[in-house]
A and B are shown apart, each in its own frame.
Chain A
Amino acid sequence: DIQMTQSPSSLSASVGDRVTITCRASQTIDNYLNWYQQKPGKAPNLLIYKTSTLHSGVPSRFSGSGSGTEFTLTINNLQPEDFAMYYCQHSLRNLYTFGQGTKLEIK
């Protein structure tokens, strides 16, 4: 299995801040890396796929980068609605796996 490790596991920030979340894969996954946002009581919501492609309707303050084994999700100008859990996930091949999540909290 490909293991996905996110850091940090939690993060405190203020509205207007810029934050970065890192995801590392235990082996190369090319650009097959996706990011999801999850709010309490809701299903995960796709933000970014294939490392850097924004899903339809996702604000441009979200961006993704990386390749191989190291990837980042950056959120610029944090908005109140951005405080949530974030998960990375590889889609290189079955068996797909997720990172353990990063909780983004209001400072």
Chain B
Amino acid sequence: QVQLQESGPGLVKPSQTLSLTCTVSGDSISSGGFYWTWIRQHPEKGLEYIGYIYHTGTTYYNPSLKSRATISVDTSENKFSLTLSSVTAADTAMYYCTRDRIGSMAGVWMTWGQGALVTVSS
């Protein structure tokens, strides 16, 4: 059974770069078949799709992030990462990693990490 675990600093200063990693167990990212995805949830607010990476390195990003987001993959470590540059208080959120199967089940998230809370504050 696949499990996802987010990790990274819980506090980031404004204008700096947020970095999170999602470690995957129970499945191999390099086996293909899934998009490895980041989603965030602002405090007391709704959910926002950030983007995904495929094991080949193909990525997609939510245009609302205005090129600040980068998702990368390390297949040797079986993990994928999110960096978000030039953060502001508006980037304070719970960040979740998840996966969805390519094809007709794309965008259906059956497995989620437990989330990593990131606060942007000086």
Contact = CB atoms under 8 A, between A and B. Distances in A.
Nearest to B46: A100
- Residue of B48, B60, B106, B108 with most chain A CB atoms under a 10 A cut-off: B108
Contacts, number: 49
- With most chain B CB atoms within 10 A of its CB, the pick from A45, A92, A96 is A96
Interface of B is mostly: loop
Given A94-B60, A95-B49, A98-B47, A89 B107 contact: yes
Nearest to A53: B108
A49 B100 CA distance: 12
A7 interface: no
Given A94-B60, A95-B62, A95-B63, A46 B109 contact: yes
Interface of A: 32, 34, 36, 42-46, 49-50, 55, 87, 89-101
